Structure 1
């Protein structure tokens, strides 16, 4: 049984990854500010209320973990203000993992983060910059922190997220020449994340995920 810490586990991709990791037989420590509101119930689920920006909370949650899955998000209203959540939380997490000797990090950013921004189509460039630019600028910083961390990292860059079902039929695009936007369900993103708990194929890579 692998001990997995999932940060941002109360909703979206994080909640779905929690569900799927439990189904796969892992022990899951679910860290979120609203962890007590997680409706899942399982003997292998440990709900931990904490803040991804607080070093003490994160270091305590990392202790004893084999793998960390980081799924962070901001509210729509926050997209129009300066964004630093992704980089700030990653600095805290990388330091905590180093302190506790935990090496494996699986993190979600998105298509358009880091060097994948160059693959955004011409017609999508302006709306992307207007609506998502602040968040994705910070996700770019986040990716740099992860890549420089010395950890065994995998970064998942999903395209446009939907609430569709888990299909297991999605593309993992590893080469820049393949990168493109597309849709993918949160459940399928979670499927990829949970597979990386035991699969090291994509260590040191940042693939784009689309249907």
Structure 2
């Protein structure tokens, strides 16, 4: 499979790239700064492109079988539109090049209202104050994806961790899982690549947690 990965220089994106290569796939990493991607492989192509600038990357999707968006915003200050603007451009390029499979990383924080699976401090402080703008734009991204006819999967990890993956994770349709509030990036990458192969959660939003 030929997989295009956006956000490939991020902590999750790198893991998705490596896991995809380990599983025998061909990967096109679309990144703003190619020098930041410390992965070398004969099945890896690195293309410079900015997800917010359609013309900078659109043609890189030609020949792709699937797209994975791992884009993320480092700063939570000011207006946030990276997720919604980025996915709009990605979907336009996918449509132009007849690519139908999309996996986009979002968050359980997009749940509308109070999620009883989460801790009180998360619901009150993180979701409604610290990351309010980020989650609002992630929700806009999800709405844009859901309105398409693509074979999409929205992936909602819980608190992301750089700990070594256990390989023991659970995927449940929805926003969160009461069993765990943590998702290792290794386990998240494993789920994403396996989902590309299986298509188990087509046109569904799924919570992925390490248990």
Same fold (TM over 0.5): yes
Map 1:152-163; keep pairs closer than 5 Å.
152-163=151-162
The offset of 1:123, in angstroms, is: 3.9
* Corresponding residue number in structure 2 for 1:25: 24
Instruction: After superposition, give the CA deviation of every residue in 1:17-68 in whole Å (9 maximum; x if it has no partner).
Output: 0000000000000011112331111100001111011111231121110000
Taking the TM superposition and a 5 Å limit, the aligned residue runs for 1:9-158 are 9-75=8-74, 78-115=75-112, 118-119=115-116, 120-128=118-126, 129-158=128-157
Give the TM-score normalised by structure 1: 0.92
Asked whether the 8 Å contact 1:3–1:67 carries over to 2, the reply is yes
Give SS of 2:86's match: helix
The alpha carbon displacement at 1:193 in A equals 0.8
Structure 2 gaps, min length 5:
none
Contact residue 14 and residue 71 of structure 1 kept, 8 A: yes
Q: Hey, what's the Cα distance between the residues in 1 that align with 2:11 and 2:119?
A: 26
| Cα distance in 1 for residues equivalent to 2:159 and 2:5 | 22
Larger relative helix fraction: 1
User: Are the equivalent residues in 1 in contact too, given 2:176–2:207 (CA < 8 A)?
Assistant: no
Contact 2:6 2:30 in 1 (8 A): yes
Q: Identify if the C-alpha distance between structure 1 residues 177 and 155 changes in structure 2 by more than 3 Å, giving closer, same or farther.
A: closer
Distance 1:113 1:175, change over 3 A: closer
Q: CA deviation at 1:126?
A: 1.7
Question: 1:177/1:135 Cα in 2 relative to 1: closer, same or farther (>3 Å)?
Answer: closer
Provide the secondary structure at the position in 2 that maps to 1:80: coil
- Long gaps (5+) in structure 1: none
What is the SS of the residue equivalent to 1:112? helix
Query: Partners in 1 of 2:130 and 2:70 — Cα distance?
Result: 20
Q: Distance in 2 between matches of 1:116 and 1:41?
A: 43
Moved more, 108-117 or 4-13: 108-117
Distance 2:29 2:114 in 1: 31
Deviates more, 1:175-184 or 1:25-34: 175-184
Provide closer, same or farther for how the CA distance between residues 195 and 53 of structure 1 changes in structure 2, counting only shifts above 3 A: same
What is the CA–CA distance in structure 1 between the aligned matches of 2:98 and 2:114, rounded to whole Å?
32
